[in-house]
Structure 1
Amino acid sequence: MAVLNPSKYMELLPTEVRSAINKVIQVLEESFTGLWMPNNLLNATYHYIRNRGKLIRPTLVLLMAYALGNGSGLEKAVLPAASVELIHTASLLQDDIMDRQRIRRGVETPYSIYGPHTAMLASDLIIAKAVEYAIRSGDNDIVFELLNSSIKLAIGQSFESELSGKVDVTIDDYLRLIYYKTASLIESSMVVGAYSVNVKDSEVISRIRDIGRFVGTAFQVRDDVIDYLNMDSKNPGVDLNEINIVRIISRDNEDIKGAVDKARDLLNEMLDNAIKAIREVVNDEILINYINLLRI
């Protein structure tokens, strides 16, 4: 098993999608240009924009738009993709505060550098800008989709706090938690991509939600396995209080290898379900190959 370099995710993308991703990055980097604010708040607000990850969520917006729009219409997906990434960024700031996280992606967090109050205000600014970009997309379906996704993220954060430290967390608890905290935004990313190219058929959107839910579940299970096995050099160490699927499975008299294998089986099952649904809806090999990178 290995953790892929972010460049591997970019290598699979068509030229048009790469170009659109660069436009998303430009939008993100210019989000607060011309707006005065204290330096600490400015730096906290831009921290995860500058120290970005693999940009999986905005890429899924663009890939779905690319697949359903037959390679065109990506320009309309840029602002929604930026909005999705900003919502994710705000959730990281909030997660850092609630977990007192001092290191993320190999660097100190805004919470650690500037304190919880500044990190909280930065998350507020970022959410406001995400709403602005959603509104500027000109599509109310996109606005309501991303607002509802933000609501689910907040519920997920609260549910995680409620479950934290409990010794009797079940798989059902876990699956509900990761839907709200992780999969819901990935689901919305794919739906927003469809809306961006004016795909509004309710049955198609329902299947796209299924795809996003499967991919989002797989994504979190993958992260749990990576965290548990300490495979990511940028995030060393295991938080023994963290709700992790490997720990939940191994608690039920499973050895660690067996628990890891069961978690990987669930990951691959979710990805198989997602790919089956993709073939039914868009049958796009680029999207399938991109999603397959989540296998470990």
Structure 2
Amino acid sequence: MEAPENLQMLPGNRFTNSKREDLIEKAEELKINQSVHKDSDNQIPYNYIQSGGQFHTNTFMNTCVLDSLLAAIHIAAKQHPKINHLFMWDPIISAVQVFMDCGRYNEAKALWLINLDEKNEGEKQFMQSDHIDIRGYPREHLPNFLDLTCAKFNYDEERRSPHPEDHIYSMTISKFEHLGEVRALGKRINPELILVDVDGRIKGFPDLSITDDYEREFKLQFLLLGMMTETSNHMVMCTRLDGGWQLYDNMKNPLFRHVNIDDICAQDYVVHLVAYVNVSPENEKQD
């Protein structure tokens, strides 16, 4: 897969295309240099990605959505080799994963946002000042998955996208459409990851497992959950980890705590984004 086009200069944007390429090059060096600390197992370090951050002269603020999403996809890749392999096809996400592996969380955040600004050209821009406010919603980060997306279903466009005769829609994506806007990542014939922008459309906990018409099982891997109070909104992440469910909160110490489904349902969280991993054998035959 070819690398994305260079980031165009925007008014007030201090992060040029050269900065993005510098970060990609640094990630490649980290990947090659075996002396750099890199977790080779599935253990999550105690000092994992946390709120805020600093990149050169720039300060990150309100990072709960970004931190939750980066933690979620990083853990998914560590737990599922097929997801790790999928992310390697995208040079940006691959580099972000390297930074996460090496504990270089500020670089991971910066590269993610630099690329997101390119994808969102003409829309919301993040990297335009010394104080970078990343307040927002998970759906605003989904453009960074565009190059890995093989099919989408738009919940809000009168259920007309994609065409009903499209096999990936009728056989696979349609099984997720009750949750929200669906995007399948990977190969059309056998997508590895399903992301659903739920954005509060459902109540309670989503399906733990969904089976498509090819009898492939897609297992729920993580959820991004909104916490709303009278004074603030906050995003946390719930993921499968260590044989159970763990809740990640970038403002808490420790960052992770064991939870069960009843705990999540009792807290009145708003489900914003869910991810399902294809856990079926890759050699299954399809029509």
TM-score by length of 2: 0.28
Instruction: Give 1 or 2: higher helix fraction.
Output: 1
- Whose relative contact order is higher, 1 or 2, with alpha carbons under 8 Å and at least 6 apart? 1
TM-score by length of 1: 0.28
Instruction: Give 1 or 2: higher strand fraction.
Output: 2
